[in-house]
Chain A
Amino acid sequence: GQNIDQPTEMTATEGAIVQINCTYQTSGFNGLFWYQQHAGEAPTFLSYNVLDGLEEKGRFSSFLSRSKGYSYLLLKELQMKDSASYLCAVMDSNYQLIWGAGTKLIIKP
C-alpha cells in the first residue's frame, strides 16, 4: 500500500530552526510537495521537489532523497506565525497526491 509518515507534533522556540521529516512508500513518484495549513484554513503551497537535493526558498528549505524515500522541510528563524500544520504529499504514478497526516508545529516564545 501507499504510506506517508511524518511526526504528529513538534515544538520549537521562536528564532530557532526546526526540521520536519517525511518518509514515503508510494506506487510511483512524480514529486513531493510540502504545504502549510493554519487551523481552519486551506493548505498553501510551500515547496516541490522532484530531483534529489535541497531547494531553498527564503526561510524554508526542502530536501529530497528518492533512493531513501525521504524528505524534510527545514524552517529557519522561526516566527510565531509559523505555528501551523505542515503536510507532506507525494504525487504517485497516476499524478494523484497521497497525503501525510500532517505535523503540527508549535512555536513557543
Chain B
Amino acid sequence: GAVVSQHPSWVICKSGTSVKIECRSLDFQATTMFWYRQFPKQSLMLMATSNEGSKATYEQGVEKDKFLINHASLTLSTLTVTSAHPEDSSFYICSARSQTSGESYEQYFGPGTRLTVT
C-alpha cells in the first residue's frame, strides 16, 4: 500500500524558534498533500492543502506567514512553524493523495509529528 513518512516524529523547541516538518510519499506521487493539526481529544483540523508546484491554500484562521508550506515535488511537502509559541504545541499530521487514487480519492496519512514548544 501507499506509505507516507513524516520527519521528525517528535520535536521539542524553544519559544521563538522555527521548526520544519517533512512529509514524504515513499512509493507514489502525490499531487496533493494536506496538513492537519490535532489537539488532545479533538478531531483533525485541516490547516492547508498544497498542490505540487503551486501555493498552498490555507483554511480560515490559519496564518500563512506563520505556517509556511512548500510542496516542491510530487513526493515532498514541508511545513515550517515559524516563531513557535507554546500554543502551537500539537500533533501535526500530513496526508497525501495519489495521482492514481482513482475514484476513491483516498488520503494516506503520515505517522504524525508531535511538537512541543517550551
Q: What is the bound-complex CA distance between A40 and B10, given in angstroms?
A: 11
Beta-carbon contact of A48 and B46 below 8 Å: no
Residues of B within 8 A of A50 (CB): 103-104
Q: A38 vs B49: C-alpha distance in the bound complex, in angstroms?
A: 24
Q: Let me know if B46 and A96 touch, CB within 8 A.
A: yes
B46: chain A residues within 8 A (beta carbon): 96-97, 99
- B side interface size, CB within 8 A: 20
Q: Report the bound CA distance from A54 to B57 in whole Å.
A: 35
Contact with B along A80-109 (1 / 0, CB 8 A): 000000010001000111011110000000
Write the chain A residue with the least CB distance to B32: A95
> Is B74 in the interface zone, CB < 8 Å from A?
no
Asked if A45 and B106 make an inter-chain contact with CB atoms under 8 angstroms apart, the answer reads yes
A87 with B105: CB separation less than 8 A: no
Q: Are A30 and B105 in contact (CB under 8 A)?
A: yes
Chain A residues whose CB sits within 8 angstroms of the CB of B45 once the complex forms: 99
Q: How far is the CA of A74 from the CA of B12 in the complex (A)?
A: 39
Number of A-B contacts (CB under 8 A): 43
| Interface status of A44 (Cβ within 8 A of chain B) | yes
Residues of B within 8 A of A33 (CB): 106
A43 to B91, CA, bound (A): 12
B105 engages A41 (CB within 8 Å): no
Is A7's CB within 8 Å of the partner chain B? no
Q: If the complex has contacts A42-B110, A96-B49, are A91 and B105 also in contact, measured as CB distance less than 8 A?
A: yes
Which B residues touch A42, using CB under 8 A?
A: 93, 109-112
Q: Decide yes or no whether B60 CB sits under 8 A from chain A.
A: no
Closest partner residue, chain A, to B113 (CB atom): A42
Report yes or no: B111 in contact with A102, Cβ–Cβ below 8 A. Answer: no
Please provide the 7 A-B residue pairs with the shortest distance between their CB atoms, ordered closest to farther.
A42-B109, A101-B43, A42-B112, A102-B43, A42-B93, A48-B104, A99-B44
Query: Which residues of A line the B interface, CB within 8 A?
Result: 30-31, 33, 35, 40-45, 48, 50, 87, 91, 95-97, 99-102
